[in-house]
Structure 1
Amino acid sequence: MALKLMKRKDSPHIWIRGSVRGLHVYESTKTSDEGAAETIRILRERELLDESIFGKKISVTFEEAARAYLDSGGSTRFLSKLTDALGTNLLRKIKQNDLDLVARRLYPDTTAETRNRQCYTPFIAVWNHAVGNEWADFRKWKRPRKAKGTVIEKTKKRSGDRPVDYELAATFVSNMSPAPAMVMTALFYTGMRPIELFTLEGSDVDIERRWIALSHTKTGEPRGVPMHDLLVPLFSALIKRKGKYPQLFQSYRGEPYQLFENRGGQLNGSIRGTRERLAKAKTPIRDISPYTARHTVSTQLVINGVHPHIKDQILGHAINDMSRHYTNVPQAPLIEAINTLPVPQVWRDMWWWSDPLGFSRRHIKWGAK
């Protein structure tokens, strides 16, 4: 039956009810004006007719896609401005130039890196999620690049933005409490983002095949991550964890780590405590944080001669139309490449390896050895 207008006693607005070619709706027009409501009814009927013929791709707006992305666990960071700017735009009508114009309008007088982080990354995450729902076609979006010859002077050096030697990393991690040490170990031998590791569940891990399947990532694109042999006993222990939280990695209190994009969640206190212990031992190390691991893995793979394409697949940089279909399929070249990462003896000798799950609740206070 065609769509009809109706009034409800509990609402001041006029409502639309009915179906078009099997697509049912019962929704408010959000207006009490009969003329405006009739116009909305006609437009809505046309949308449903198009959708019944051409599929959902014909009618999904960016706002709908963003809402679905958030409902699936996507990051809210920087998304509100983008949704306000592109909300009512149909996905199928958004072109590269539209995205570029919105980025310049929302973030004028900013660097390419800022526009990339605050506009392009959340947009592409929403788009990729829509692709997974078959609401949009896969597309390679161009990101802004820093103009050649420009130099950005940093006034303050921030830990985590440079790689470190694995021997130095081992010394630092060996002075941490077991729970955060396990997190840092997994980061240094997978190259995962902290936010990806903190949402990892037991069902995502295949110990026998040395493979980790990530359904939700920063970019919105599912991907597979190879598991270094060093991590086998760690993951084998953690997947046996029982409790009310599904996350594999938990704090010493047995609670999930809070999620902060590009930050280490609740590891800040542990990082500071470890720096204090090392400073008292006269072996200060201050340039290591959760994101250091990702930079270190990337750099070490290059040093080891791993092909750039393999390296990018491991880190989740290489996104193509086929990669989504092999999220759960272990790839031998990636597993071989991750196992080229060196393992200092200090790392192998950490005392919690004998019982990772049992020692995960042990906590070392600031300044203690």
Structure 2
Amino acid sequence: MVLKLIRRKDSPNWWIRGTIRGISVYETSGTAERDAAEIILTIRAKEVLDESIFGKKLTVTFDSAAESYLQSGGSPRFLKLLRQYFGSTPLRGLRQNDLDAAGTNLFPDVAPETRNRQCYTPFIAVWNHAVGNDWADVRQWRRPRKAKGTTRRQVSKRSGSRPVNYERAARFIAEMSPAPAMVMTVLFYTGMRPVELLTLERDDVDLEGRWLIIRSSKTGEPRGVPMHEFVVPLFNALVQRDDGNPHVFRTFKGESYTIMAGSGGQLSNGIVGARKRLATKGVDITDVSPYTARHSVSTQLVINGIHPHIKDQILGHAFTDMSRHYTAVPQAHLIEAINTLSVPQEWRRMRWWDDPLSWSRRHVKWGKG
């Protein structure tokens, strides 16, 4: 028998039911969207098959371990965000740096003891429960500690390594020249990697379907990316260019952006310029850069309650055999998820929205005349 999707009268969601190699499954997919449920069904079937062959230690995910922990009487306190963040990540793949990243992304501006209580403690409780069930190996997890002494050590916050809220991002991007501001805007409303966006070509933009096609991502696999409805008019304007250069996003000179490993390339000037202009106004925003957008999209989708499988599909983390089938076909559930990202009014008021194509050719230093 195989796994299949079924409906229940008492639930709006699709349920997964069936047996694979003697292992029975009867559980909710967590979504009422058929396309989303099909993806989850495929991933779940592979997990059950792997479990039947290699045992649960290879296949148990953080979310399933957390569910078992709660059913055994564990405390639900502070566990919801962690379940959304780690979701279907297998326990066998989690390391100290993953736990540290969760603490930083979910609780960026709290004291070490607060991060320890709200992130590390519930995570370790779930892990120890999994160890007791022989689903994971014993591990000594390091917890965050308050710096010793009366003087607190200054911790460097590297730009791009943490999420920011969208109001803060809008305040920063409003100071950027139009061309790089457009790039940053799309990064914050697609979750794409900067290199993916800067190499995007006109033929890979499906305006009607609100869909972008990445021919070759960081993993080497093609993938599809939903675009937020907010940026559709921007794409509609920029793809009108037909001057022999296939790239959608260009510098104000009309040239393709230079891709540089380990640096921001030609976006760096726009970032530095915005920081300086804000500084003259007494505003200190130095934690916004191209990669900030990807972290912000990921974190905000978790906060918005988007299913981990859907979030991973948007960000290009979930590369399964089924992923290839969804590369060029717009997926309604992914578009619906990306549209949960809010748009501050300051972002909507940026002057270049009235004619993006014309403004993209101008090198404007706002407030400088």
TM-score grouping bracket, smaller chain normalisation: 0.5 to 0.7
Alpha-carbon distance, 1:155 to partner: 6.0
**Is the 1:214–1:222 Cα contact (8 Å) retained in structure 2?**
yes
- What are the superposed Cα offsets for residues 102-150 of structure 1, whole Å, 9 maximum, x if unpaired? xxxxxxxxxxxxxxxxxxxxxxxxxxxxxxxxxxxxxx9x868347524
**Is the 1:280–1:367 Cα contact (8 Å) retained in structure 2?**
no
Helix, strand or coil: the match of 1:260?
Answer: coil
Helix, strand or coil: the match of 1:275?
Answer: helix
Alpha-carbon distance, 1:157 to partner: 2.2
Alpha-carbon distance, 1:216 to partner: 1.0
Alpha-carbon distance, 1:366 to partner: 8.9
- Residue in structure 2 matched with residue 269 of structure 1 by the alignment: 269
Q: Distance in 1 between matches of 2:225 and 2:306?
A: 15
Q: Which has the higher contact order (CA 8 A, sep 6+)?
A: 2
State the one-letter code of the partner of 1:319: F
- 1:163-312 paired onto structure 2 within 5 Å: 163-261=163-261, 263-312=263-312
In structure 2, relative to structure 1, the CA distance for the partners of 1:177 and 1:186 (3 Å cut) is same
State the one-letter code of the partner of 2:279: A
- Residue in structure 2 matched with residue 364 of structure 1 by the alignment: 364
- 1:36-55 paired onto structure 2 within 5 Å: none
Alpha-carbon distance, 1:260 to partner: 2.8
- Residue in structure 2 matched with residue 317 of structure 1 by the alignment: 317
The two structures have a TM-score, normalised by structure 2, of: 0.59
Q: Distance in 2 between matches of 1:166 and 1:148?
A: 36
The gaps in structure 2 that reach 5 residues or longer are 1-89, 97-138, 146-153
Alpha-carbon distance, 1:151 to partner: 6.7
- What are the superposed Cα offsets for residues 280-312 of structure 1, whole Å, 9 maximum, x if unpaired? 011221110000000000011011110111001
The gaps in structure 1 that reach 5 residues or longer are 1-139
- What are the superposed Cα offsets for residues 312-342 of structure 1, whole Å, 9 maximum, x if unpaired? 1000011101101220011111000000000
Helix, strand or coil: the match of 1:313?
Answer: helix
Alpha-carbon distance, 1:152 to partner: 9.4
Q: Distance in 1 between matches of 2:140 and 2:195?
A: 32
Q: Distance in 1 between matches of 2:289 and 2:255?
A: 21
**Is the 2:195–2:259 Cα contact (8 Å) retained in structure 1?**
yes
**Is the 1:194–1:262 Cα contact (8 Å) retained in structure 2?**
no
Question: Are residue 145 (structure 1) and residue 100 (structure 2) matched?
Answer: no
Helix, strand or coil: the match of 1:318?
Answer: coil
Q: Distance in 2 between matches of 1:261 and 1:223?
A: 22
Alpha-carbon distance, 1:204 to partner: 0.5
**Is the 1:276–1:367 Cα contact (8 Å) retained in structure 2?**
no
**Is the 1:195–1:260 Cα contact (8 Å) retained in structure 2?**
no
Alpha-carbon distance, 1:262 to partner: 5.6
In structure 2, relative to structure 1, the CA distance for the partners of 1:155 and 1:329 (3 Å cut) is same
In structure 2, relative to structure 1, the CA distance for the partners of 1:337 and 1:289 (3 Å cut) is same
- Residue in structure 1 matched with residue 349 of structure 2 by the alignment: 349
- 1:89-168 paired onto structure 2 within 5 Å: 145-146=95-96, 148-150=140-142, 156-168=156-168
Q: Distance in 1 between matches of 2:312 and 2:211?
A: 16
The two structures have a TM-score, normalised by structure 1, of: 0.59
In structure 2, relative to structure 1, the CA distance for the partners of 1:361 and 1:327 (3 Å cut) is same
State the one-letter code of the partner of 2:198: F
State the one-letter code of the partner of 1:189: Y
Helix, strand or coil: the match of 2:325?
Answer: helix
Q: Distance in 2 between matches of 1:151 and 1:205?
A: 45
> CA-atom RMSD, angstroms?
2.2
State the one-letter code of the partner of 2:255: E
Identity of aligned residues (%): 62
**Is the 1:191–1:297 Cα contact (8 Å) retained in structure 2?**
yes
Alpha-carbon distance, 1:259 to partner: 1.2
In structure 2, relative to structure 1, the CA distance for the partners of 1:294 and 1:287 (3 Å cut) is same
State the one-letter code of the partner of 2:285: I
Helix, strand or coil: the match of 1:225?
Answer: strand
Helix, strand or coil: the match of 2:305?
Answer: coil
- Residue in structure 2 matched with residue 328 of structure 1 by the alignment: 328
- 1:42-81 paired onto structure 2 within 5 Å: none
In structure 2, relative to structure 1, the CA distance for the partners of 1:354 and 1:253 (3 Å cut) is same
Pairs aligned (count): 229
- What are the superposed Cα offsets for residues 166-192 of structure 1, whole Å, 9 maximum, x if unpaired? 011111111110000000000000000
Considering only CA atoms, is the larger Rg found in Structure 1 or Structure 2? 1
Helix, strand or coil: the match of 1:231?
Answer: helix
Helix, strand or coil: the match of 2:212?
Answer: strand
Helix, strand or coil: the match of 2:298?
Answer: helix
In structure 2, relative to structure 1, the CA distance for the partners of 1:277 and 1:362 (3 Å cut) is same
In structure 2, relative to structure 1, the CA distance for the partners of 1:292 and 1:225 (3 Å cut) is same
Helix, strand or coil: the match of 2:161?
Answer: coil
**Is the 1:276–1:366 Cα contact (8 Å) retained in structure 2?**
no
